[in-house]
């Protein structure tokens, strides 16, 4: 499929991310203050901090759901704040996973995974084959015909992750993806994110107030009242996708 001029180039090691001097305000309330950091292709980075610290806002800016008030965010050298068609960028270049999975309740599991591919005009036979492969990858082989209501919370979040990977994005942004899960289900989701990143080489940024995710990450960044207050290496290791 030919990529449009606003889509970053893809590689086996995912997308680089550069956040430079980013501030953001809602009206007179500034929620991010001069944030600076970079993410290397294929890294899994934990963005931690208490509720209200600006984590979700920062992910929204990185995923072109909003534009920074000041500063620049580059994803694979694309300035996401200057996109003329941000919806195209989001559809082709970023996979989102949220605390509430937002699966459509009247669609089957497989249909939910196929939905982003339909929006990207992927042929029907390819959509079905890719959805089945993704469901197998997240451990839900055989559940494609089930409705979301027939799955556990952890299984629904696995479907949401498969859906986020549907268009093979170089960047995954996960906002409190385990916030509504028990500890066992949450741990399985973290391990799945690690495994998928290892095999695919996708860049992953996970925002959570739960610092127990830090051992699963390559690096952790902490936001406090909209300011980056801590940058620490957890498991400094190169990551390349398995071939």
CATH number at residue 57: 3.40.50.300
User: Of all helices (H) and strands (E), which one includes residue 157?
Assistant: helix 153-164
Residues in contact with 15: Cβ distance below 8 Å, sequence separation at least 6, in sequence order: 8, 41, 75, 76, 93, 170, 171, 203
pLDDT, residue 13, reads: 64
Alpha-carbon span 224 to 222, nearest angstrom: 7
Q: Which residues of 172-194 are buried (b: 16+ CB within 10 A; e: fewer)?
A: bbbbbbbeebeeebbbbbbebbb
How far does Cα 99 stand from its chain's mean position? Answer: 12
Domains contained in the chain, number: 1
Q: Residue 112 corresponds to which tokens in the numbers above?
A: 């939910």
Domain that holds residue 65: 17-101+170-233
Q: Does residue 122 belong to any structural domain of this protein? A: no
pLDDT, residue 44, reads: 92
Mean pLDDT of the chain: 85
Q: Does residue 50 belong to any structural domain of this protein? A: yes
Backbone angles phi, psi at 213, to 5 degrees: -75, -15
State yes or no: pLDDT of 37 exceeds 80: yes
Q: Does residue 214 belong to any structural domain of this protein? A: yes
Angle at 130 between CA 129 and CA 135, to 5 degrees: 100
Q: Does residue 38 belong to any structural domain of this protein? A: yes
Instruction: Determine the straight-line distance between the first and last CA of the chain, rounded to whole angstroms.
Output: 21
CB 53, CB 226: distance < 8 Å: yes
Q: Does residue 119 belong to any structural domain of this protein? A: no
Q: Does residue 165 belong to any structural domain of this protein? A: no
Residue 52 to residues 73, 123, 171, 242, Cα–Cα distance (Å): 21, 41, 24, 37
Q: Does residue 84 belong to any structural domain of this protein? A: yes
Lowest mean pLDDT among 43-47, 126-130, 175-179: 175-179
Q: By percentage, how much of the chain surpasses pLDDT 90? A: 56
Alpha-carbon span 220 to 96, nearest angstrom: 19
Q: Does residue 130 belong to any structural domain of this protein? A: no
């Amino acid at each position: 499929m030919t990529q449009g001029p606003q889509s970053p180039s893809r590689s086996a090691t995912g997308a680089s991310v550069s956040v430079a001097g980013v501030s953001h305000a809602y009206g007179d309330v500034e929620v991010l203050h001069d944030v600076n950091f970079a993410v290397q292709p294929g890294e899994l980075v934990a963005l931690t901090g208490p509720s209200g610290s600006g984590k979700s806002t920062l992910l929204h800016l990185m995923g072109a759901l909003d534009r920074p008030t000041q500063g620049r965010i580059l994803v694979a050298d694309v300035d996401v704040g200057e996109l003329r068609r941000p919806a195209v960028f989001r559809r082709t270049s970023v996979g989102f996973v949220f605390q509430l999975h937002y699966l459509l309740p009247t669609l089957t599991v497989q249909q939910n995974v196929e939905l982003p591919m339909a929006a990207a005009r992927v042929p029907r036979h390819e959509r079905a084959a890719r959805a089945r492969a993704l469901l197998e990858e997240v451990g839900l082989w055989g559940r494609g015909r089930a409705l979301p209501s027939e799955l556990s919370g952890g299984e629904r979040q696995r479907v949401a992750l498969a859906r986020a990977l549907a268009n093979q994005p170089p960047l995954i942004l996960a906002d409190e993806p385990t916030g509504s899960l028990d500890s066992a289900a949450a741990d399985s989701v973290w391990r799945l994110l690690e495994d998928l990143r290892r095999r695919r080489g996708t860049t992953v940024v996970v925002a959570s107030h739960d610092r127990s995710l830090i051992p699963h990450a390559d690096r952790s960044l902490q936001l406090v009242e909209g300011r980056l207050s801590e940058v620490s290496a957890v498991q400094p290791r190169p990551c390349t996708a398995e071939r």
